[in-house]
Amino acid sequence: MTKMLDDYALLSPLRYTNNWLKIGVVGFGILMGISSQAPLVPFSIAICMSLATLIFGRVPPKFYLKLLMGPAVFVVFSIIIIAFFFGGGPELFGFNVLDYHLGVNTGGLSMAFLVFSRTLGGMCCLFFLALTTPMVELFSVLKKTGLPDSFIELSMMMYRYIFVFLDVAWCIKHAQTVRLGYHDLKTSLHSMAMLCSTLFLRSWEQGEKTFVAMNARCYDGKMMIFEEKRPVNFSEVALSLTYMVAIVGVWYVSNGMLEVSFW
Partner 1 sequence: MVILETRGLKYSYPDGTHAVKGVDIKLRKGKRIAFVGKNGSGKSTLFLLLNGTLKPAEGRIFYDGKELAYDQASLREIRKNVGIVFQNSDDQVFAPTVYQDVAFGPVNLGYSKADIEKKVDGTLEYFGLSGLKDKPPHHLSGGQKKRVAIAGIVAMNPQAIILDEPLANLDPVGADELLDVLHELNHMGTSLIISTHDVDLAYSWADYVFFMVDGEVIGEGTPDEVFQDDELLRQAHLKRPVTFDIYKEIERRGLAHGNRQPRTVPEIVDTLKPPELMWVEVPPETREGDILNLGVLHGEYALQCPYEAVNARVLHIHEGGWAIVELTRHGIKAGGILIYDMDRFDPADFDGFLEKENIDIVGAMGKKSKLMAEKNSLCVDISTGVIDRTILMALCGKRCMILTSGGMIPHSMQRINEYIDRSGIALNVTVVNGH
Give the interface with partner 1 as residue ranges (CB under 8 A).
7, 10, 15-16, 134-136, 139, 156-157, 159-161, 163-164, 167, 206, 209-210, 212-220, 222-227
| 1 versus 260: smaller Cβ distance to partner 1 | 1
Cβ of residue 133: shortest distance to partner 1, in angstroms? Answer: 13
- Residue 94 near residue 102, CB atoms below 8 Å: yes
CB atoms within 10 A of CB 44: 23
Smallest gap from residue 134 Cβ to partner 1 (A): 8
DSSP conformational letter for 197: H
Question: CA–CA separation, 39 vs 195, rounded Å?
Answer: 48
Measured from the CB atom, the residue of 40 and 166 that comes closer to partner 1 is 166
User: In the 8-state DSSP scheme, what is residue 38?
Assistant: S
d(CA 78, CA 35): 20
In the bound complex, what is the minimum distance in angstroms from residue 99's beta carbon to partner 1?
Answer: 60
Cβ distance to partner 1 smaller for residue 211 or 252: 211
Nearer to partner 1, 98 or 225 (CB): 225
In angstroms, give the least distance from the CB of 85 to partner 1: 46
* Residues 6 or more apart whose Cβ sits within 8 Å of residue 205: none
> Helices marked H in 36-89 — which ranges?
40-51, 61-85
